[in-house]
Amino acid sequence: MLQTIADTASYMTSLTEPLAFAGVALLILGLAGFAVWVFCCWGTGLMRYCGRSLVVIGALFLTFQAAWLFFGVEPSVKNAGGLPLWFLGFAFVVPGFLMRLVGAIRPTH
């Protein structure tokens, strides 16, 4: 049973690189939506979408970290300079919540 869980966790952790790239792209897109919101007063829908997606991606990273800590292994994303997964998780969750909060200030135009 534990071997099956370990195999599943190792397979899912290999998906962290594409998820990290998607998270960075969503972060940049959300910041662009914030800039549009500041200057043109629209773009809240884009910020809300990016914020929700970043929270989900960050939660996945935190779940992967917890799963690997259960097995006693310290995983990291190789192309991100060996950053631990919990760092990437919080780096996506915190801006995601902030984008979601800022996006809720004004109604979507």
Q: Are 44 and 106 in contact (CB under 8 A)?
A: yes
How far separated are the first and last CA of the chain, in Å rounded? 51
| pTM of this structure | 0.82
pLDDT tens, N- to C-terminus, the chain (109 residues):
667 766 766 676 677 888 889 999 999 999 998 898 888 878 888 888 999 999 999 999 898 888 888 877 767 666 556 778 888 899 999 999 999 888 888 765 5
How is the chain split among helix, strand and coil, in percent rounded to 5? 80, 5, 15
